[in-house]
């Protein structure tokens, strides 16, 4: 892996400032340290990325390694911080922050967390800065979070798809075996630069039911963090998210029960989902060798890309038939669109 090992020296990049003394240590010089990139604001259906980053900072010990100068990176008109006026006096301005932190998991093993708002400006320079920090920190692999709205029901297992600089890195995850052209993002640009610099770079995308993409959906955060823990060999505290998942599922179940329209939509999505699972099970079983078990629905996720594409088309057709706008917010065929638009 690329190394610089120059954390003891002043940074060469004026885009960020290092903390001194640097609160950084790797597991060993050879093993390196994993990096998690969780940039908020884009491709964040269900607020999965924001919730993931906040959960880690609240649940685990962390220290700032480097802080980015947001005056160089943000268009504040697109993301205005709150100002507090108390008794006719301006008393407070909420400050945004984009930091690189060293975080300790439950076993006191470190990883780096890049968390904060997605830069509006200077994506290439930001990517170069992350590469420089990764080299100086002896990063072993970098994993980026995304969350996309999909026409899938909340009553079925949540799918996490993956892409990577090397296919072998994500062989156990659902992948899009096709050529996709999607709107750019700072995290995607950074991934590309990390890969070009020789790092293992992985992107994980949670598939969130499109009809709740604008609300917090803790199951997406849980799935992303669990995947990161597996890929980075770290143990994370997820019990709080499990409780939040149960609470939200109960609320969704009640809303579905109370609304015939919601129940109809969810039921249609379930039928399409289950029909595709049965088709894939039949296809797999015809190819099984004697003595092999028929795969379960969760094991068939690697082939869901074609299924999801068909479901998106079907959802658009149903919306047109009902006289609704088939391109309502949160309903997109772009796996990196959260339905809220881009700030670029």
pLDDT in tens, 158-202: 989 999 999 899 988 888 777 888 888 999 999 999 999 999 999
Predicted confidence band at 90 (pLDDT cuts at 50, 70, 90)? Answer: very high
Cis omega (within 30 of 0) on the bond before 108? no
Task: For residues 254 and 257, give the distance between their C-alpha atoms in angstroms, rounded to a whole number.
Answer: 5
pLDDT of residue 316: 52
In sequence order, the β-bridge partners of residue 116 are 39
pLDDT of residue 53: 97
pLDDT of residue 6: 53
pLDDT in tens, 127-164: 999 999 999 999 999 999 999 998 889 999 998 999 99
**Domain map (residue ranges) of the chain:** 16-238
Alpha helices in the chain (DSSP H): 48-59, 123-137, 186-196, 218-232, 239-258, 260-286, 304-321
Alpha helices in 8-81 (DSSP H): 48-59
pLDDT of residue 341: 43
Ranked by mean pLDDT, the top range of 14-28, 225-239, 288-302, 324-338 is 225-239
Query: Average pLDDT for residues 281-290, to the nearest whole number?
Result: 57
Asked if 88 contacts 45 with a C-beta cutoff of 8 angstroms, the reply is: no
pLDDT in tens, 205-250: 999 999 899 899 999 999 999 999 999 999 999 999 999 999 999 9
pLDDT of residue 251: 93
Cα dihedral 45, 50, 56, 59 in deg (nearest 10): -100
18 or 290, which is more confident: 18
The pLDDT of residue 328 is above 50:
no
pLDDT of residue 20: 78
For 16-238, CATH gives 3.40.50.10900
Asked if 220 contacts 177 with a C-beta cutoff of 8 angstroms, the reply is: no
Q: Are strands 33-40 and 139-150 parallel, antiparallel or unpaired?
A: parallel
The pLDDT of residue 298 is above 50:
no
286 or 333, which is more confident: 286
pLDDT of residue 30: 67
Query: Average pLDDT for residues 32-44, to the nearest whole number?
Result: 92
The pLDDT of residue 91 is above 80:
yes
| Mean pLDDT of the chain, nearest integer | 82
pLDDT of residue 279: 77
Q: CA dist 101 to 34, 62, 65, Å?
A: 12, 6, 5
In degrees, rounded to 5, the angle at the alpha carbon of residue 323 between the alpha carbons of residues 317 and 324 is: 75
Question: What percentage of the chain carries pLDDT values higher than 70?
Answer: 76
Task: For residues 52 and 59, give the distance between their C-alpha atoms in angstroms, rounded to a whole number.
Answer: 11
Nearest to 142 by CA among 40, 32, 220: 32
The pLDDT of residue 11 is above 80:
no
pLDDT of residue 174: 82
């Amino acid at each position: 892996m690329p190394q610089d090992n120059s954390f003891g020296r002043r940074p060469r990049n004026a885009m960020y400032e290092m903390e001194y003394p640097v609160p950084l240590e790797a597991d060993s010089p050879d093993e390196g340290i994993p990096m998690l990139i969780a940039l908020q604001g884009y491709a964040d259906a269900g607020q999965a990325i924001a919730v993931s980053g906040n959960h880690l900072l609240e649940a685990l010990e962390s220290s700032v390694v480097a802080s980015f100068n947001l005056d160089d990176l943000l268009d504040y008109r697109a993301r205005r911080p709150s100002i507090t006026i108390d008794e006719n006096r301006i008393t407070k301005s909420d400050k945004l922050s984009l930091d690189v932190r060293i975080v300790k998991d439950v076993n006191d093993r470190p990883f780096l967390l890049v968390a904060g708002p997605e830069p509006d400006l200077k994506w290439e320079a930001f990517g170069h800065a992350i590469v420089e920090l990764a080299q100086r920190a002896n990063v072993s692999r970098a994993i980026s979070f995304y969350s996309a709205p999909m026409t899938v029901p909340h009553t079925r297992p949540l799918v996490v798809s993956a892409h990577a600089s090397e296919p072998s890195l994500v062989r156990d995850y659902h992948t899009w075996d096709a050529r996709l052209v999607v709107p750019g993002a700072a995290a995607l640009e950074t991934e590309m630069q990390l890969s070009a610099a020789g790092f293992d770079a992985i992107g994980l995308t949670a598939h969130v039911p499109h009809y709740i993409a604008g609300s917090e959906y803790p199951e997406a955060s849980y799935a992303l963090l669990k995947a990161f823990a597996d890929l980075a060999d770290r143990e994370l505290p997820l019990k709080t998210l499990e409780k939040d998942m149960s609470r939200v599922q109960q609320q969704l179940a009640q809303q579905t029960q109370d609304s015939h329209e919601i129940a109809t939509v969810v039921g249609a999505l379930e039928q399409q989902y289950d029909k595709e699972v049965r088709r894939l099970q039949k296809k797999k079983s015809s190819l099984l060798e004697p003595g092999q078990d028929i795969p379960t629905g969760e094991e068939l996720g690697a082939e869901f890309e074609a299924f999801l594409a068909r479901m998106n088309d079907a959802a658009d057709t149903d919306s047109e038939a009902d006289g609704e706008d088939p391109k309502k917010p949160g309903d997109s065929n772009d796996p990196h669109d959260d339905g809220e638009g881009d700030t670029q």
